Amino acid sequence: MRIALAADNGNWHKARLLAALRAQGVEPVLFSLADVTVATGGGEPLRVPGCDGGLPDGVLLRTIAGGTFEATTLRLGVLHALVAAGCVVWNAPTGIERSVDKAATSLLVARAGLPTPQTWVVSKREAAAAIAAREARPGAPLVLKPLFGSQGEGLALIERPEDLPDEEAVARVYYLQRYVPRRDGLWRDYRVFVCDGRAVAGMIREGDGWITNVHRGGRPLPWAMPRAAAELAEAAAAAVGVAYSGVDLVEDGEGGFSVLEVNSMPAWSGLQTVCEADIAATVVRGFLAAVRASRTPRLVVA
């Protein structure tokens, strides 16, 4: 198999995935989507560095190189072209697009009939202000999230219509979600890592404030994950269509859980400190099994 690993940043994760691939006897081609080119006029027009004019059998994607909207569109187009050519891509571009867009994630999770905090997505400030006036109040806010964003960046609590920023500040999209407080007053939610349809590990994320992301100072804690939480995370990953993901859950106040987000390029350095499963090895085993299953058997002539 010709396997490629795209990991533009995050040396810790890259090193773990590289070691896990080598432990399976695979020496991957390391490349960046930013270095892939399209050149027509002869042969395969998609040129992946290190693949000698051909295409890999599988691409394991840890990150997408940053850049402008146009650059990101090109890189997603490259992933779509790889899938169309028969290459197995984890995660596939369709799943990435759905999970990066929080509105699409919320829509798919709701359509699947899964519990999730009530959410509204509108384009105009007047519409967002009407929602805030009707649904928010001091002590019972809404959470304003950037449509594209991760690691707790850009979050804000909205208690009154006046708390809403101008349209330009939110790229003309207001994503508002009902804030679900815990009865015990702790700032705590849950991350479940799902790979190939199975919840393989989970952790508590506890913070000194309402934003609990480990990147923002949240503390990873061990968690005896209930089966109901595992099944909900598995269903959320399936609804969005991601092969491996970090699914964020919150307690619903009634003894159950609700889906907050589904992340298609999850970090797991914090989770790895509090769980026994080898996350990188689990991802690699699932990915390589998918690549092997997709390959056309060759006719062996005696």
Q: Quick one: 13 and 88 in the same domain? A: yes
Q: Quick one: 157 and 194 in the same domain? A: no
239-286 per-position pLDDT tens digit: 999 999 999 999 988 889 999 999 999 999 999 999 999 999 999 999
Q: Quick one: 38 and 83 in the same domain? A: yes
Distance from chain centroid for Cα 116: 17
Q: Letter for the amino acid at 182?
A: R
Q: Quick one: 187 and 128 in the same domain? A: no
Q: Quick one: 123 and 206 in the same domain? A: no
170 part of a folded domain: yes
164 part of a folded domain: yes
Q: Quick one: 86 and 149 in the same domain? A: no
Question: What CATH number should be reported for the domain holding residue 188?
Answer: 3.30.470.20
Q: Quick one: 150 and 188 in the same domain? A: no
Q: Which domain holds residue 268?
A: 183-277
Is the preceding omega at residue 91 within 30 degrees of 0, hence cis?
yes
pLDDT in the model for residue 300: 47
Question: What CATH number should be reported for the domain holding residue 47?
Answer: 3.40.50.20
Q: Quick one: 19 and 57 in the same domain? A: yes
Q: Are 36 and 49 in contact (CB under 8 A)?
A: yes
123 part of a folded domain: yes
In whole angstroms, what is the distance from residue 83 CA to residue 89 CA? 7
Name residues of the chain where pLDDT drops below 70.
150-153, 216, 296-302
Q: Quick one: 209 and 266 in the same domain? A: yes
Q: What are the tokens at 297?
A: 């058997």
In whole angstroms, what is the distance from residue 236 CA to residue 108 CA? 8
112 part of a folded domain: no
In whole angstroms, what is the distance from residue 288 CA to residue 90 CA? 10
113 part of a folded domain: no
Q: Which of 134, 163, 178 is the last residue of a domain?
A: 178
pLDDT in the model for residue 210: 72
299 part of a folded domain: no
Q: Quick one: 70 and 135 in the same domain? A: no
| Inter-helix orientation angle 227-240/93-100, to 10° | 110
Domain count, the chain: 3
Question: What CATH number should be reported for the domain holding residue 167?
Answer: 3.30.1490
Q: Are 104 and 173 in contact (CB under 8 A)?
A: no
292 part of a folded domain: no
pLDDT in the model for residue 52: 85
Q: Quick one: 149 and 83 in the same domain? A: no
289 part of a folded domain: no
Q: Quick one: 201 and 241 in the same domain? A: yes
pLDDT in the model for residue 203: 96
In whole angstroms, what is the distance from residue 14 CA to residue 6 CA? 9
pLDDT in the model for residue 298: 45
